[in-house]
Structure 1
Amino acid sequence: MAAPSNDERSLFTLVGELPDRVSDLIRAEIDQIKAEISYKIKHFGIGSGLFAGAAVVGVFLLFTLIVAAIFALALVMPGWAAALTVSGILVVIIAILVWIAMINFRRGSEPLESIESLRKDLDMVKGTGEYDRD
């Protein structure tokens, strides 16, 4: 029996390296999934904290509106106007916090790209997937 040619050796070498390459690919995909999930959890946490901050400021808004109503009913000098001004500022603060929170929730709710990529890779290894030429 003749010794394998250089072409056959490189094919044997490639086939021998295949399990290691697939293993490395799967590890890299799993690491990427972990990073994406960590990123999403971070943004959900930030969004939740900002919603909680908006709720606290909303409680202060309620108190100042009550004070404004009392001042308006009592018709005591322009004290009620000052309370309404403070309430307006609090409304602006709440709106800004809610807007930032919504941005963070949208970032956190985007679909994971790595899971779909891992599925395609596994389908290709099984021979059931199509090669994507993008």
Structure 2
Amino acid sequence: MTDTTPSEAKAAETSLGALLGEVTRDISTLMRQEVALAKAELKQSAAQSAKAGGLLGGAGYGALMAIFFLSVALWWALATVMGGGWAGVVVAVIWAVIAAILYVTGRRQLNEVQGAPQTVETLKEIPETLKRNEENR
């Protein structure tokens, strides 16, 4: 004696048209939910990307302004101790290091953006779910 699954019992009692209608509704609901999930995840990822982009842009502009004003002052101060040319090189190296640190920090934040990981996971589950239902037939 074989036990029938709930799906098999329902299939035996329900017409093919009703079953197809139910499957169509379920797939439609699933797709709408997946689209809603993808929208929510992408909105969050876009906000994180915009923040990281703003930080990178701000870091670039800040580095430019700092290099301009502070390097003139530092160059002038170092020129009293060493030659003006070498003072300019020292100032340029200092600001290059600062700009590199700002770039690395912004880049790290940009790499933390995850996209839509939950949507990808749930979409991967759909084929497996359909396979399980086919195996029960």
Structure 1 match to 2:119: 114
Shift of 1:54: 0.4
Provide structure 1 residue ranges, at least 5 long, that are not aligned to the other structure: 1-6, 76-83, 130-134
Task: State the alpha-carbon separation in 2 of the partners of residues 66 and 49 from structure 1.
Answer: 27
Q: In the alignment, is the contact (CA less than 8 A) between 2:59 and 2:103 conserved in 1?
A: yes
11 and 27 in structure 1: CA distance in 2 versus 1, 3 angstrom threshold:
farther
Mapped pair 1:36 → 2:41: yes
State the one-letter code of the partner of 2:74. A
Shift of 1:32: 0.6
Structure 2 match to 1:80: none
Structure 1 match to 2:57: 52
Shift of 1:18: 2.5
Task: State the alpha-carbon separation in 1 of the partners of residues 71 and 13 from structure 2.
Answer: 79
Shift of 1:117: 1.5
Task: State the alpha-carbon separation in 1 of the partners of residues 13 and 122 from structure 2.
Answer: 27
Shift of 1:44: 1.1
Provide structure 2 residue ranges, at least 5 long, that are not aligned to the other structure: 1-8, 82-90
Per-residue CA shift, 1:48-107, capped at 9, x if unaligned? 1110100111112212123211122136xxxxxxxx9xx99xx5xx957863x3453133
Q: In the alignment, is the contact (CA less than 8 A) between 1:54 and 1:98 conserved in 2?
A: no
Aligned 1:10-29 pairs, distance under 5 A: 12=14, 15=19, 16-29=21-34
**With structure 1 as the length reference, what TM-score do the two structures score?**
0.59
Mapped pair 1:72 → 2:113: no
**With structure 2 as the length reference, what TM-score do the two structures score?**
0.58
CA root-mean-square deviation: 3.9
Structure 2 match to 1:3: none
State the one-letter code of the partner of 1:118. L
Q: 3-state DSSP class of the match of 1:108?
A: coil
Q: In the alignment, is the contact (CA less than 8 A) between 1:40 and 1:108 conserved in 2?
A: yes
Identity %: 16
